[in-house]
Chains A and B, each alone.
Chain A
Amino acid sequence: MSSTADSTTVRPPLISGNQTFSTITQRISEIVEIEVQKTPKAWFIAFGISSSLAGGMGLMIAYLLWEGTGIWGLNQPAGWGWAIVNFVFWVGIGHAGTLISAILFLFRQKWRTSINRFAEAMTIFAVICAGMFPGIHVGRAWVAYWMFPLPNQMDIWPNFRSPLLWDVFAVSTYFTVSCLFWYVGLIPDLATLRDRAKSGIRKVLLGIAALGWRGSNRQWSNYEKAYLILAGLATPLVLSVHTVVSFDFAVGIVPGWHTTIFPPYFVAGAIFSGFAMVMTLAVIARWIYKLEDFITMRHLENMNKIMLLTGMLVGYAYACEFFISWYGGNPYEQSIFINRATGPYAWAYWTMVSCNVLSPQIFWFKKCRTSIPVMFVVSILINIGMWFERFVITVTSLSQDYLPSSWGYYIPTVYDVGIFIGSFGLFLTLFLLFLRFLPMIAIAEVKGVIPEADPHHYDH
């Protein structure tokens, strides 16, 4: 029987532990309302580590801007390295949020309510991390704004034929819509917090943020419509962003990049990696804040099923690339794929295949699908594998292109690694701040899926 279809009479409830409207409000709100002294120690430790990493990254970026991109391992032929790999990696992670929020919302998948809020937050933070990289990877970061079509007295416009420009539009649109979607969803909850707030400043700030929400029927009706429209707007973006990101490669003529499979392949990979990251974070948040009643095993299992599916989709894409390079008869194309699997970067290729294709296969077994340690480890493996996928695409293709004389080997420097680790620091810092100050679970929405929400609940 499907665990994604919802028939609350037959299936176990989405929220367990005999929660009522008031306990839900209480349980979720207290996490953000707690006094500073009572904030869990684990939060402080995690925040200390991640903000230090983010700070370290800040220093490295300052040095990068001072000295130039030469501090990275970039070379000729590999003009793009870890910065672009990280960009695609983070954009990919930023996919699950909107997918869970918007698409599952449109498909009336109510199990999404427990995880959509922090999946959306994750999306926004991941896109922030992603957006940072194209900005700092250019040689003259101080004029990176020339990529925007800003009117100027010299009448110079960006090149509308360049996929990088499409990227600018795609990512910034996605970021804007994701922020709006997230914020609109937050309004009822912010109002709840406002109503519970005790101190004056808190009341004022939350009052402003809640935009005068009173919970009237008319407001709810407008809210539902707005949310539906935004979901409708966001849904094509899930597909478009990574499609456009894939154009950065597919439109280039580099063997290994120039292929039509990239858009669906990238979208599948993005959802795959996004779900893996949601899983990693959900397992941790669930454990720290004891949210087993809200993020139930049913949620986790559903996500594992999606990862199994998308993992096989990317596996199919890997196989398809090889088939087409053989079938297409282009010797450069053939050479690059043989080199990927057997050449100097074979270790990266096989890391990618084992993490992305082999490791999710364990989810065929229900026992594994519902085991917290197994899904945690697999989600991390998938994150690693998906990073390597972008590395393999970006670096191996560039390293061995048309003229063997220019072939080279890419070796990252401490700054490549440091800024990548630092981007995790930034991501986690933002995420921890979110956990601490905003309701991580959509209170209003969760209330809608408990049995008491059924108007006839008390009729029995």
Chain B
Amino acid sequence: MTTPKNQYWKSLEHLENSEAFQDLYVRAFPEEHQDASIPVSRRDFLRFMGASVALAGATGCRRPVEHIVPYVRQPEEIIPGVPLRYATTITTGEEAVGVVVESHEGRPTKIEGNPLHPGSGGGANSLHQASILNLYDPDRIKRSPDTWSDFLDFWRDSHGAAAAAGGAALAVISEASCSPSLTRLKSAFKKAFPAARWATYEAVSDETVHAGVEAATGKRQRLRYHYDRASVVVALDADFLLCETDNVANSRGFAEQRRIRNRGGSMNRLYSVESAFTVTGAMADHRLRLRSADIMAFAETIARRLADHSIAVPGLDALGHGLTPVDDTFVTALVSDLVANKGKSLLVAGRRQPAEVHALVYSLNAALNNIGSSVSCIAATDRETPDLADFAALVREMASGKVNTVIILDGNPVFNAPADLNFTDAMKAVENSVHLSSIANETTQLADWHIRKSHYLESWGDARAGDGTLSLVQPLIAPLGESRSTIELLYLLVHGKEKSGFETVRETWKAIIRSGDFERTWRKVLHDGVLAGSALPESSPSVDLSSLTALLKARARSGADTSGVEAVFLASPAVYDGRFANNAWLQELPDTMTKLVWDNAAVMSPSTAEKFGIDRHRHDGLKPVDHHMIRITANGRSIELPIFLLPGHADDSISVYLGYGRRDGGRVANGVGVNTYTLRTLNAPNFVTGVQAETTGEMYKLSTTQNHHSMEGRPLIRETSLAAYRDGGELHPALIEGPPLKSLWKDHNYSQGNQWGMTVDLNLCTGCNACVIACQSENNIPVVGKKDAGYGRELHWIRIDRYFSGDENNPQAVHQPIPCMHCENAPCEQVCPVQATNHDKSGLNVMVYNRCIGTRYCSNNCPFKVRRFNFFNYTKATPESAKMANNPDVTVRSRGVMEKCTYCLQRINESRIKAKLDGKPLRDGDVVTACEQTCPVDAIVFGDIADPQSRVSVAKSQDRNYVLVGEINVRPRTSYLGKLRNPHPTLAAATPAEHHSDAH
């Protein structure tokens, strides 16, 4: 950098332009010195490939070598074109989910759940699926000045002084974790720096759950829910199927009680009481719309009613009178179910709810004998749990200048700390700040040092699952760019010298694997992904009355006014707390209920919107209408965001997703949506009551992928009640009867070989969107952006349709995944003028991309509109690095061609080839489609319908099986199993018997 003579100088140093100043300048304005135009060069890519091949060898139970070797001699296990799979673990806060990652020539491309891991059971949610894209995020791996060696120098200098001072004026802000190695390093840190401060912060966490359980039992415990053992589930503001910790395992357990195989089957009953309309609410047999602030009173009502049934609820005396007015029939039915199912019910409260709700819910579970059966506790071993009060105290110390050096281990407190903490000012008051972060985010901009954090696919680590089972995090690729894992940085902080994460984790595990041959067990853990038998013992602690009563009484004393309109802060199912905001797949993932993409909004019920002067039918029409902006003010802070009307949302409640409105979140994240953290305060981090709200008069365009919300009485999602089904009742709406089916054309011959088909059990599908992202990852589906998604041009090969039915104010919602139906008499094939879409012998409707000229006639003629068209060259915008996430087995489509679900043809062929090499016929389950594989509830079944024993044939033989628009003789291969609801007999009458078309 030189300063030309005729340029203005900003300071004397600038004029002098010394080396020291240049250094400072580069660090102060890193953006100017990054070469963003070349994310990864070919040379680098080859280097990384070589590195990953070396590591693949290391991770594949071979010599743990960490050199970068050129790809000169072919490693023994690598056959070009044949992917390898490795087990690792994804951790998000305290949640650990084991996954198996597919790697092509050392390049990870696809995440799948690990069937051996209790947090997964083979399934994975959309965040896990999409995390592969974060690995190749160009904003994460772009070049930057090499700060690591500078930092090493800095820390070597500071380390001694800090250690000498016992760590006084040193502080660490960490994220929640469940890693034994991190726990070990943290205690080493405490030993090395006894006076240092260590606070843990997560914007979205289970802190209140832990606090509630601690108050109820008197011990720090971690709750375990066994949904597979519960006949009655009561979810209090808890979206346990999608947004709570361990949602994959929860869904799997819940589905166990929901699976119907014949008319004699039985299933659980789910009550949901919630403010926002979530997928759990949509799955519920009975749903009560209630503000989040009223959940405590509702729980008290349950407690009081249980007491009326002579069930002693511990802590009853400290409770208020409950909710008034309350839907009496609902509560009566719920309580009668709880009483009738003692020991087989499960109450769960969401993490948005305060500690006292969780304490009371624990007490209720105890009163109902559920503790020890459907609910249990395990020790909080190896867990770093967040503590908001402790974090706030540290921030105040930082602001007062007591902290000299702060080390932020990932996270983004500048963006997501409670607004009234003024974290920004506190951080500025600290002399040295170090930020470990994958992307240079809002916090990094204020930090003196940025240490790039390795992706979990680039680093070693370990984790404990929800039941305590241990698993390893192993890298599949060398870091793409200079980066360190949390473990590596923490080791350096403690010891003042570097050590590889691999060695640190092995050291930890040497203490864990004490019996037997360490190497052998270690390799087995690497191979399986879990250490068998390492689950922590379950306990069923009884209620500690004194601490429970103390908490409940403290709440009663505070007597906070919770009336008025509330604003509820929700973790987004797409971007979570904001950490996935730079992930384009997730930004374009239609929200489960609103179907919004690329935005967050102030979601409220139509009745509440009317209070703000919005016509409740404003958005009913097909024609997109701009959305009103609303200003929400609480405690002197306000945010402005567009109003979205969602039937079924609780009245007087506005729910907003967190994590949007990023300023420095990366090229995808920046400017998408509105930052709602600015409304969150220390006292009300999850919901705030008594907010003022008014429309600003401004308008905003939102993009949704579904514009019409009624089934119009058509037999698309067919359902009935469990009782009616057991009595031989039929699904409704009834199928449409047409004239006798005759085709103009000669039928294909389907008598030879495998005949592929699919079923989707609508009774199990929660609408969680995992299949959508799994398909996107497997099939190289590009994103199209907000504007095009609003036109309906999104390219998802499988989509989730969501319909409302029943009462306009309190509708039921249903979800239906729609992949290509692979019609045996496919209407798309006949109309293509160039024969670009054809049928193969196994019943697949296949696309020949090379032949397609893009008339879109096939899409017009598709009754399901599953054919998606490349209106633009959508892959053009894909950054060079993100192209590495592509599946090499699937063609990347060009502009102007039609594409659609292939039933994962590449997977069929892979299995077919393997079977042929093995000289065996394909067996049922050899071919697993991406959507089927990831589905946490196994709602999707794929297989050979010519084999009467196959799972799909068995599913199709159920009398709930039906196809969409079968009366026009398209003969779809994808069929649906009708949905059942299990209403309480006294509430059944109130359940809508028919689908109405009121709700749009």
Binding site for B on A (CB under 8 A): 67-70, 73-77, 79-80, 137-141, 143-144, 146-147, 156-159, 161-165, 168, 248, 251-254, 330-332, 335, 343-344, 398-409, 411
The reply to whether the CB of B695 lies closer than 8 angstroms to some CB of chain A is no
Residue contact A164 to B835, C-beta cutoff 8 Å? no
Residue contact A158 to B872, C-beta cutoff 8 Å? no
Give the top 8 A-B pairs by smallest Cβ distance, nearest first: A139-B854, A139-B896, A70-B871, A79-B856, A405-B801, A406-B865, A140-B896, A164-B833
Residue among A80, A141, A399, A402 with the highest chain B CB neighbour number at 10 A: A402
- If A70-B871, A253-B968, A343-B622 touch, does A403 touch B865 (CB 8 Å cutoff)? yes
**C-alpha gap A343/B708 in the complex (Å):** 13
**C-alpha gap A161/B894 in the complex (Å):** 26
Residue contact A74 to B871, C-beta cutoff 8 Å? yes
Residue among B712, B827, B965 with the highest chain A CB neighbour number at 10 A: B712
Number of A-B contacts defined by CB within 8 Å: 179
Inter-chain contacts of B898 with A (CB < 8 A): 139
The reply to whether the CB of B725 lies closer than 8 angstroms to some CB of chain A is no
Choice from B714, B791, B802, B863 contacting A331 with Cβ under 8 Å = B714
- If A139-B853, A146-B834, A403-B863 touch, does A75 touch B896 (CB 8 Å cutoff)? no
Q: Which residue of B lies closest to A77 (CB)?
A: B865
- If A162-B832, A254-B860, A404-B708 touch, does A68 touch B873 (CB 8 Å cutoff)? yes
The reply to whether the CB of B818 lies closer than 8 angstroms to some CB of chain A is yes
The reply to whether the CB of B851 lies closer than 8 angstroms to some CB of chain A is yes
**C-alpha gap A67/B896 in the complex (Å):** 10
Binding site for A on B (CB under 8 A): 621-624, 706-714, 716, 736, 738, 745, 788, 791-794, 799, 801-803, 816, 818, 827, 830-835, 851-857, 859-861, 863-865, 868-873, 894-898, 964-965, 968, 970
Give 5 pairs: A residue, B residue, CB < 8 Å, sorted on A. A68-B872, A77-B865, A80-B856, A253-B970, A401-B865
Known: A140-B896, A403-B818. 4 other contacts (CB 8 A): A140-B852, A140-B895, A252-B860, A402-B714
- If A67-B872, A68-B896, A253-B968 touch, does A76 touch B792 (CB 8 Å cutoff)? yes
Residue contact B895 to A164, C-beta cutoff 8 Å? no
Inter-chain contacts of A159 with B (CB < 8 A): 830, 832-835
Inter-chain contacts of B895 with A (CB < 8 A): 68, 139-140
**C-alpha gap A144/B861 in the complex (Å):** 20
Q: Which residue of A lies closest to B834 (CB)?
A: A146
Inter-chain contacts of A343 with B (CB < 8 A): 622
B-side binding surface: helix, strand, loop or mixed? loop
B895 to chain A, nearest CB (A): 5
**C-alpha gap A165/B710 in the complex (Å):** 37
**C-alpha gap A411/B708 in the complex (Å):** 16
**C-alpha gap A332/B970 in the complex (Å):** 15
B259 to chain A, nearest CB (A): 26
Residue contact B714 to A75, C-beta cutoff 8 Å? no
Q: Which residue of B lies closest to A166 (CB)?
A: B833
Q: Which residue of A lies closest to B623 (CB)?
A: A409
Q: Which residue of A lies closest to B855 (CB)?
A: A138
Residue contact B788 to A79, C-beta cutoff 8 Å? no
A168 to chain B, nearest CB (A): 7
Residue contact B818 to A405, C-beta cutoff 8 Å? yes
Residue contact B868 to A76, C-beta cutoff 8 Å? yes
B976 to chain A, nearest CB (A): 12
Q: Which residue of A lies closest to B712 (CB)?
A: A404
**C-alpha gap A157/B716 in the complex (Å):** 37
Q: Which residue of A lies closest to B787 (CB)?
A: A70
**C-alpha gap A162/B802 in the complex (Å):** 34
Inter-chain contacts of B621 with A (CB < 8 A): 344, 409
A403 to chain B, nearest CB (A): 6
**C-alpha gap A146/B832 in the complex (Å):** 11
Choice from B736, B803, B897 contacting A405 with Cβ under 8 Å = B803
Residue contact A79 to B859, C-beta cutoff 8 Å? yes
**C-alpha gap A337/B621 in the complex (Å):** 17
Inter-chain contacts of B711 with A (CB < 8 A): 404
Q: Which residue of A lies closest to B710 (CB)?
A: A404
Inter-chain contacts of B791 with A (CB < 8 A): 73-76, 408
Residue contact B833 to A158, C-beta cutoff 8 Å? yes
Residue contact B871 to A68, C-beta cutoff 8 Å? yes
**C-alpha gap A401/B860 in the complex (Å):** 9
A16 to chain B, nearest CB (A): 51
**C-alpha gap A68/B870 in the complex (Å):** 9
Inter-chain contacts of A165 with B (CB < 8 A): 833
- If A254-B860, A404-B708 touch, does A147 touch B852 (CB 8 Å cutoff)? no
Inter-chain contacts of B830 with A (CB < 8 A): 159, 161-162, 251
Inter-chain contacts of A77 with B (CB < 8 A): 792, 859-860, 865
Residue contact A146 to B853, C-beta cutoff 8 Å? yes
A413 to chain B, nearest CB (A): 10
B287 to chain A, nearest CB (A): 21
Inter-chain contacts of B794 with A (CB < 8 A): 76
Inter-chain contacts of A407 with B (CB < 8 A): 622, 707-708
**C-alpha gap A164/B712 in the complex (Å):** 32
Residue contact B865 to A76, C-beta cutoff 8 Å? yes
**C-alpha gap A155/B903 in the complex (Å):** 28
Choice from A139, A156, A409 contacting B707 with Cβ under 8 Å = A409
Residue contact B793 to A76, C-beta cutoff 8 Å? yes
Residue contact A139 to B852, C-beta cutoff 8 Å? yes
Residue contact A164 to B855, C-beta cutoff 8 Å? yes
Inter-chain contacts of B834 with A (CB < 8 A): 146-147, 158-159
Residue contact A163 to B864, C-beta cutoff 8 Å? no
Q: Which residue of B lies closest to A144 (CB)?
A: B853
- If A139-B856, A253-B827 touch, does A403 touch B793 (CB 8 Å cutoff)? no
Residue contact B965 to A402, C-beta cutoff 8 Å? yes
Residue contact A253 to B861, C-beta cutoff 8 Å? yes
**C-alpha gap A336/B827 in the complex (Å):** 19
Residue contact A75 to B803, C-beta cutoff 8 Å? no
Inter-chain contacts of A411 with B (CB < 8 A): 623-624
Residue contact A408 to B801, C-beta cutoff 8 Å? no
Inter-chain contacts of A158 with B (CB < 8 A): 833-835
Residue among B709, B816, B860 with the highest chain A CB neighbour number at 10 A: B860
Inter-chain contacts of A409 with B (CB < 8 A): 621-624, 707
Residue contact A138 to B854, C-beta cutoff 8 Å? yes
Inter-chain contacts of A70 with B (CB < 8 A): 788, 793, 871-872
Inter-chain contacts of B864 with A (CB < 8 A): 402-403, 406
A446 to chain B, nearest CB (A): 43
**C-alpha gap A248/B857 in the complex (Å):** 9
B625 to chain A, nearest CB (A): 10
Inter-chain contacts of B832 with A (CB < 8 A): 159, 162
Inter-chain contacts of A139 with B (CB < 8 A): 852-856, 869-871, 895-898
**C-alpha gap A404/B623 in the complex (Å):** 14
**C-alpha gap A147/B861 in the complex (Å):** 18
Inter-chain contacts of B863 with A (CB < 8 A): 253, 401-403
Inter-chain contacts of B964 with A (CB < 8 A): 402-403
Residue among A76, A139, A141, A335 with the highest chain B CB neighbour number at 10 A: A76
- If A147-B833, A159-B832 touch, does A140 touch B851 (CB 8 Å cutoff)? no
**C-alpha gap A312/B831 in the complex (Å):** 32
Choice from A147, A330, A398, A400 contacting B860 with Cβ under 8 Å = A398
- If A76-B792, A253-B968, A331-B714 touch, does A405 touch B851 (CB 8 Å cutoff)? no
Residue contact B854 to A76, C-beta cutoff 8 Å? no
Inter-chain contacts of A403 with B (CB < 8 A): 714, 716, 801, 818, 863-865, 964
Q: Which residue of A lies closest to B854 (CB)?
A: A139
- If A139-B870, A146-B834 touch, does A80 touch B623 (CB 8 Å cutoff)? no
**C-alpha gap A399/B362 in the complex (Å):** 51
Inter-chain contacts of A143 with B (CB < 8 A): 853
Q: Which residue of A lies closest to B837 (CB)?
A: A159
Q: Which residue of A lies closest to B897 (CB)?
A: A139
**C-alpha gap A451/B831 in the complex (Å):** 55
**C-alpha gap A407/B620 in the complex (Å):** 12
Inter-chain contacts of A140 with B (CB < 8 A): 852-854, 894-897
Residue contact B872 to A404, C-beta cutoff 8 Å? no
Inter-chain contacts of B623 with A (CB < 8 A): 344, 409, 411
A162 to chain B, nearest CB (A): 4
